[in-house]
Amino acid sequence: MTGVAFRPVTTDDTVTLLDIYNHYVTTSTVTFDLEPWSPRDMDHKIDTVAALGMPFIVAELDGDLVGYAYLSTFREKAAYDTTMENTLYLRPDMRGRGTGRLLLDEVVRLGAVAGVREVIAVIANTPDAEASIRLHNAAGFSLVGEMNNVGLKFDRWIGVVMMQKSLAS
């Protein structure tokens, strides 16, 4: 995939980010949210990531926002501060073209610049998330854990896998 450019998110992106994220909230198990986010929820996430000094980037193709990624708190307690959880979502029609890899590599690169040492992906262990698991594998994440039946969505119990990439040199 060529022609994809990255830039930091702004609150002008909120509506487009919600279009992307809420599609997955309402149609898939890749996120454990059960209700669509409001503009206030997304603006709060943008502000929270900025306050952490972590990257929140969007991918654009021909001027259109086609995906986004950010790093945010993995666990609240202070000793976890150099470990971040990554999140990324593509506009549905943009999946399967290599854009996810570019976006993930870029947010991880920016995380390293911001002092992140370990990046954790918490991924639903369902067929919906097969692309995500494969993507993280290809991008150098290793499977480090698995939890069963920790979520209930669409009347099904859902587990997660944890994948980790170390940025320590």
Ligand X SMILES: CC(C)(COP(=O)(O)OP(=O)(O)OC[C@H]1O[C@@H](n2cnc3c(N)ncnc32)[C@H](O)[C@@H]1OP(=O)(O)O)[C@@H](O)C(=O)NCCC(=O)NCCS
Write out the residues near ligand X by the rule CB under 6 A. Answer: 24, 30, 88-90, 95-101, 121, 123, 129-132, 134-135, 138
Residue among 132 and 169 whose Cβ is closer to ligand X: 132
- For residues 132 and 83, the answer to whether their CB atoms sit within 8 Å is no
CB of residue 78 vs ligand X: minimum separation in angstroms? 25
Q: Identity (one letter) of the amino acid at 92?
A: P
Say how far apart CA 20 and CA 169 lie, in whole Å.
Answer: 35
Place of tokens 């976006």: 103
Q: Toward ligand X, which CB reaches closer, 131 or 167?
A: 131
State the DSSP code for 128: G
Which CB atom, from 52 or from 131, has the smaller least distance to ligand X?
Answer: 131
Residue nearest to ligand X (CB): 100
Shortest distance, CB of residue 121 to ligand X, whole angstroms? 6
